[in-house]
Amino acid sequence: MNIARSRFIPLFFLAWLALAPRMSWALGLGSVSDWAQGTWNTAVNTTEHGKDDLYFSGYTWHDPGTYTAAKRATLNKHAWGIGWGRHQMDANGNEDMVYAMIFSDSHWNAEPVVGYAHQWMFNNDAPVGFGLGYTLAVTSRADIFNNIPFPIALPIASIRFGKFSIYGTFIPKVNNKLNNGNVAFFFGRYDF
């Protein structure tokens, strides 16, 4: 694998963290602490006033450029799972979600995740809509920190067909080790 490419993603996240206060100010969001407090308030409001959702998962893709064929053959690509959450649309037609899911990870272990997501929505009034955003969550895995819960921040994208949505996120490679990272995870949601 190209070393420059494998180092790009961690450097991108470090640059984002360094620029976040300036971006927050430039976008009129105030300080990072104001953004964090606003995000917390939105998550609480969504929990209290949002519409109920059923989540289900089902597929994990492991990058053939990152994993050997032999290793991919041992990994679980059917990440079956279920969850519950709530969502609501903000004044701009964008979506906030709070959710809790449990699914089978790449090693067939149960992986719980509890989180918040925000998406900027496009084509909301049409039968088919799209969203791009981020999710902030807490998860735990047997192969990472021995099941001690840890935070994650990942990009998220969706396509919506009426009350049914399909979501995808990407877990980037964070080191140069073979058989690690560059995983796409797909799940669905039904709005009640």
C-alpha 131/C-alpha 144 separation (Å) is: 30
CA dihedral over 117, 88, 121, 160, signed as positive or negative = positive
Specify if 173 maps to a domain: yes
24 within a domain of the structure (yes/no): no
User: Which residue in 6, 53, 57, 62 is the catalytic one?
Assistant: 62
The answer to whether position 39 is within a domain reads no
Which member of 6, 53, 57, 105 is catalytic?
Answer: 105
118 is catalytic: no
Place of tokens 């064929």: 69
Report if residue 15 sits inside a domain. Answer: no
- How high is the mean pLDDT of the chain? 85
Boundaries of domain holding 95: 50-191
Percent of the chain with pLDDT over 90: 62
pLDDT band at 4 (very low <50, low <70, confident <90, very high): very low
User: Looking at the predicted structure, is the pLDDT value of residue 185 above 60?
Assistant: yes
CA gap 7, 130 in Å, rounded: 30
Indicate whether 177 pLDDT > 90.
no
Distances (CA, A) of 2 to 5, 7, 61, 65: 5, 9, 20, 10
Whether residue 125 lies in the annotated active site: no
Asked, for residue 45, whether it belongs to a domain, the answer is: no
Closest CA to 172 of 154, 145, 190: 154
Please compute, for residue 160, the number of CA atoms within 13 A of its CA located in the half-sphere on the CB side.
20
Residue 14 inside a domain? The answer is no
| pLDDT value for 170 | 95
Task: Supply the pTM of this predicted model.
Answer: 0.80
Residue 102 burial by CB count (10 A; 0-12/13-18/19+): exposed, middle or buried? middle
> Residue 42 falls within a domain, yes or no?
no
Q: Is 105 a catalytic residue?
A: yes
Choose, from 57, 106, 158, 165, the residue flagged as catalytic: 106
In a domain, 123, yes or no: yes
* Residue range 43-71, pLDDT digits in tens: 889 999 999 999 999 899 999 999 999 99
Number of domains in the chain: 1
CATH number of domain containing 70: 2.40.160.20
- pLDDT tens readout for residues 119-161: 999 987 888 999 999 999 999 999 888 989 999 999 999 999 9
Angle between the N-to-C axes of helices 32-49 and 3-26, in degrees from 0 to 180, rounded to the nearest 10: 90
